[in-house]
Amino acid sequence: MTESHPHREHTPERTLERLSADRKVRAVARAGSHGTEFAWAGSQPVFVTFERDIISPHSETRAGITVERFPYEKLDGWREWDAARIDAPLALLATSRVAYDPTGNYGRIQRTLWNLSEPQLAAHREEQLTAASARLDEAQRAYTGPGHGVQQQLLALADARDIALTLLYPALLTRLHLWPEFEIRLPHAWRTSAGLKFPKAVYRLEALYAFGGEVEARKVLLATRGLGLVEQERRARAAYQAGYYDGAVRYLRDETARTHRADLDAWTHLTSARRDKLGSLLGVSRAPLGPAALELAGGLLEAVRLGV
């Protein structure tokens, strides 16, 4: 009698088989570095699917395997650039590896993204810069000026980093016809892709995160204790052990801002111990705060606009 191994159900291969055999699933691709020549100790299996009976995109993680699910209708709609650029996860779709695509539409979406003309890329870059400028103006109004205290300075820093990462860095890569891959090794990736060609932009991006190599990474990892960041700490530790110190710091800074936004809003009411931990995670003693953070992000915007 054959012994069963329940954990085999959750291998990437079994997940791919199961998804491809599901009648509701109309396309499957692998994403991220797992299973590629760029894989490393912290790579995690990620699948992208288009499925019937899904109303809105959502993500599920089980046994370390993540599935990014999208409505089937988008598989047809996103073949057109004018539709895709509005709401498609462009980088995810462009950099994933198609595994099951009976309609051929996933492949068509990818060819559209890979073959954009220079004018299309320039127009897309301008849209991202316009969106970033509007968000910076909004943050300036919300978080600077008379009567604003520490919490507004921290919220301004969190917003400046988010704008830099989600709008300005992808806009910069349009100059190289590349799509960002948001892995934990991101600082390593942006230095490799854009550091030599656009040193001013990358310098400003790095300054927002206030990296400090191994010493800062160790300090930030220690500060995660007691803040409910167990999974994030585990992933960041894998990056740390692989020598991606700045990757671990970038990831924990952004995850802290995302998961503890309410703490930033209520900063003055927190215990001093909690403030110390969150302050270490965000890098408040090293990073530019408030107007200085927004000014730095504005400088990054200009560097991306000029391509320097």
Lowest mean pLDDT among 8-22, 35-49, 181-195, 279-293: 8-22
| The Cα angle at residue 173 between residues 172 and 176, in degrees rounded to 5 | 115
Residue 158: the pLDDT is 97
Pairing type for strands 65-71 and 46-51 reads parallel
Residue 8 has pLDDT above 80, yes or no: no
pLDDT tens profile 222-237: 999 999 999 999 999 9
Residue 147 has pLDDT above 80, yes or no: no
pLDDT over 90, % of the chain = 86
Taking a C-beta distance cutoff of 8 angstroms, is the pair 187, 246 a contact? yes
> Within the chain, what is the greatest distance between any pair of CA atoms?
76
Residue with tokens 């927002």: 208
**Cα separations in angstroms, 271 against 41, 55, 280, 284:** 36, 42, 14, 16
Lowest mean pLDDT among 57-61, 134-138, 160-164: 57-61
Contacts of range 263-266, beta carbons closer than 8 Å, 24 or more positions apart: 264/151, 264/154, 264/155, 264/158, 265/151, 265/155, 266/151
Residue 9: the pLDDT is 63
Contacts of range 98-103, beta carbons closer than 8 Å, 24 or more positions apart: 98/27, 98/28, 98/29, 99/16, 99/20, 99/28, 99/29, 99/30, 100/16, 100/19, 100/20, 100/25, 100/27, 100/28, 100/29, 101/27, 101/28, 101/29, 102/26, 102/27, 103/26, 103/27, 103/75, 103/76
What is the dotted CATH code of the domain comprising 6-114? 3.30.460.10
CB proximity list for 286: less than 8 A, separation 6 or greater: 210, 212, 216
What are the domain boundaries of the chain?
A: 6-114, 118-306
Residue 3: the pLDDT is 43
Number of helices followed by number of strands (H, E) in the chain: 16, 5
Q: How far apart are CA 86 and CA 128, in angstroms?
A: 11
Residue 127: the pLDDT is 97
Residue 145: the pLDDT is 83
Residue 146: the pLDDT is 81
Taking a C-beta distance cutoff of 8 angstroms, is the pair 99, 28 a contact? yes
pLDDT tens profile 240-258: 999 999 999 999 999 999 9
pLDDT tens profile 162-213: 999 999 999 999 999 999 987 899 999 999 999 999 999 999 999 999 999 9
Taking a C-beta distance cutoff of 8 angstroms, is the pair 81, 36 a contact? no
Q: How far apart are CA 266 and CA 278, in angstroms?
A: 12
